[in-house]
Amino acid sequence: MPLNYNFAFKNSKLKQWERPKPKNILASEKTFKERILYFYQIFVRNPEITFPPGLILIITFAFQMINIYPVSITKRLEDKHLEYQMISKKLSNSQSRIKSMRNYLDSIKVYYSQALPSYLFAYYLQSTIPKGVKIIEYFISENEFYIKASAYEIESLNQMVALLLESPIINKTSLSINKINIEESTKTANVNIEIDGTLLKLNLEKREFLYDESLAYGLSKKLSRFKILEQSIR
């Protein structure tokens, strides 16, 4: 059990030492100069205590001073940076939309670049039929055509073949006569002929001209709008 009585000072002239309380320099009536001198002496006498935190404070202050200029520039350019990000996002969205439109145009361009439609073929076929020639049947695909006609005179059919060779939509080198059949009766002779060939691959400008020439204004307007759209997104 511990004792509360201290026997070291019994019957002795020794006095118990009490640690003096440190002077409160801030609460004293010292002048400002004396206070500064006091703190300086503490700093000099106790370098192991004051030097590390003091060095940290000095380095921190130095870094703060160094960062003042770049931070000010960053704050000054922050609005421009936000504006740049907004414009970049808009450009990215625009490029994405343009790419999507290009893909769409590529998907529908085939309808404007493949063989001519049946309207043009029928229009120019009518202009190649001379008097006395009758079209029995005809067929047109994406690249080829077939015509079966009849006449009472072979000269009329020869004239029709010559006009077909001048047609702006028919490949002249592909035109061929597959069959000629002459049907004779007591009074007249009927000549049947079968012709086939291939159609030309025309560019958009030539197509537009043929549409205007054949009075196909609806097709011409569609093609014109397609060309304008194609040029606007290049």
DSSP 52-89: HHHHHHHHHHHHHHHHHHHHHHHHHHHHHHHHHHHHHH
- pLDDT at residue 164, as a whole number: 86
Over the chain (234 residues), what is each successive 10-residue block's mean pLDDT? 55 65 62 76 70 76 78 77 84 80 74 68 82 85 84 85 85 84 69 86 79 78 76 70
CB 176 within 8 Å of CB 196: yes
d(CA 108, CA 119): 19
Structural domains for the chain: 31-87 (no CATH), 113-232 (3.30.1360.100)
Q: Which helix (H) or strand (E) holds 19?
A: none
Question: What pLDDT score was predicted for residue 114?
Answer: 62
Count of helices and strands (H, E) across the chain = 7, 4
Q: 0.75 cut: is pTM over it?
A: no
Q: Are 233 and 102 in contact (CB under 8 A)?
A: yes
Distance CA 25, CA 204 (A): 98
pLDDT value of residue 39: 73
Which residues have a Cβ under 8 Å from the Cβ of 177 and sit 6 or more positions away? 161, 193, 194, 195
pLDDT for res 172: 85
CA 189 to chain centre: 67
State the residue for tokens 């004792």.
3
Residue 114 · residue 142 · CB < 8 Å: yes
Residue 82 has which token pair? Answer: 């936000």
